[in-house]
Amino acid sequence: MALKFYWKPKRLLRDLLVLALLAGLILFVAAYLGTRALHDISEKYIHNATERAAGDYQAMKSEAELSLGMVRDWGVSGLVDLADPVKTKELLVPLFKNDPWLSGISVADMQGRHLFLLSDGTVPYEAKETPYNPSERLWFTAAAHAEESQWTEVYRFITLEELGITASVAWPDKNGKRQTVAAFDILLEDLLDAINQLAPTASGRAITFLPDGRLYVPDTESENAAFKSVELIKDGLAKRGLEIWATGARREVAKMQFEGKAWWCGFAPLAASKNQMWVGVFVPEADILGGTAPRRRLLFGIGAAAVLAMMALYVFFVWRNGSRELQLGDEVEAEQIRAIIERGENRYVEFKSTMRMNLHSKKPGKEIELAWLKGVCAFLNTDGGMLLLGVTDAGEITGLEQDVFENEDKCRLHFKNLIANHIGAETSEYVRFIMVPMEGKTVGVVRCSQAADPVFLRDGNKEAFYIRNGPASDELPVSKALKYIKHRK
């Protein structure tokens, strides 16, 4: 008897309803594109820029802390010793090559000894020639009372007269007191200038500012880079953005108006500390839209047409190959099974080598039986399907002879008992078992149709709910099983 396919009227109505709802949803989403999608695109533009800025800043701090930890280890081991400044200098100078932002290294102790190196290898201050007491500096006192690395806020270096921050760490003497501190002076101007160039579009802008609202202004011909009040530099866009930031919208992308144009802005801290710097990104809405209104309407029309075409192709594909349930007559020919085997396993077809025999131990195993019973249970809970016993995953026919039943009747009885004991005798109307001779062997064909009620696989006191997911049978936890059963009805 030939193969025949059909699409259940109930399923057809369901699928048509789903497609209609999907079409309506797509049209709704397309209409909503001008608002929510615009916000999402703006958020992506801005978050990419702010995350990159924060990433660059954090990378700089991580590299500095790593090198600072190494200096601390040297100090603990006695390699860094203010009693031998020449040796200490030789050890520290190579660190400048690893960090382009590192401008100076200080090593000081409670006795007032201080070694200060610049990146060019010069030593402005050595021994007790320092014009200030290093133990009174913030970077010294902060580290002397902490076990981890400490960071200062942004300030202008006395020696270089440039913006920077200082990271410091202390290590104990033989008595366990943190008497010696090493500090890294890190220039920020190159980093901040780079951050200010991270605007995501040609017309966009990026700014760096402090929590008190002072804005970073790069070097000019007349003055050095500095953090200045927005009012002093008359930057209207930055001022408008900082007003939004001050209202509490510090992590959300916001829309604002400036000089008659719509802008999107967003902010992010460069570090976790509340006193650290922030970066702000501004993007004109026109840059995000990327075209005029007619062009957007054209793109919307093309997109809608493409979606409708894809839906039509989907319906055609499902009708020809997808959601049709495979049915066989009472008399099954070997050629029909061979055609099914050649197409391989899928949502509606599964292969199992044996019904009960463990081919490794050469003994019947309950785990083998439960393995294919899961597939039967999944077929019953989904859209039906076919299980072929005596066929390997690769499509090789090995036959039920490997299960060593005395005769076919014993095999059928064993199958019937397994279904009754583990799935339920009430499901027998949805399960058919046929034995088909093929190539001198016997293949067990288990035909399953969708059960009217949910089916559970019982193993002792345990029950499990399975559904088909592609060529696999997946177990659903209780919460998802209940949701699936409710939706299935």
User: What pLDDT digit, counting tens, does each position of 107-144 carry?
Assistant: 998 888 889 898 876 665 554 455 567 788 888 988 98
Distance CA 50, CA 445 (A): 60
Q: Which is higher by pLDDT, 36 or 398?
A: 398
CATH of the domain at 89: 3.30.450.20
User: What's the total number of domains in the chain?
Assistant: 2
**Domain termination site, one of 159, 184, 209:** 184
Residue 87 lies in a domain: yes
CATH of the domain at 466: 3.30.950.30
**Domain termination site, one of 166, 184, 202:** 184
pLDDT on residue 403: 96
Domain of 169, in residue numbers: 78-184
Residue 94 lies in a domain: yes
Burial class (CB in 10 A: 0-12, 13-18, 19+), 247: exposed
> In the predicted model, what is the mean pLDDT of the chain?
82
Residue 95 lies in a domain: yes
pLDDT on residue 324: 41
pLDDT band at 54 (very low <50, low <70, confident <90, very high): confident
pLDDT on residue 60: 87
Residue 360 lies in a domain: yes
Residue 472 lies in a domain: yes
Distance CA 219, CA 162 (A): 10
Residue 284 lies in a domain: no
**Domain termination site, one of 149, 167, 184:** 184
Residue 404 lies in a domain: yes
Residue 169 lies in a domain: yes
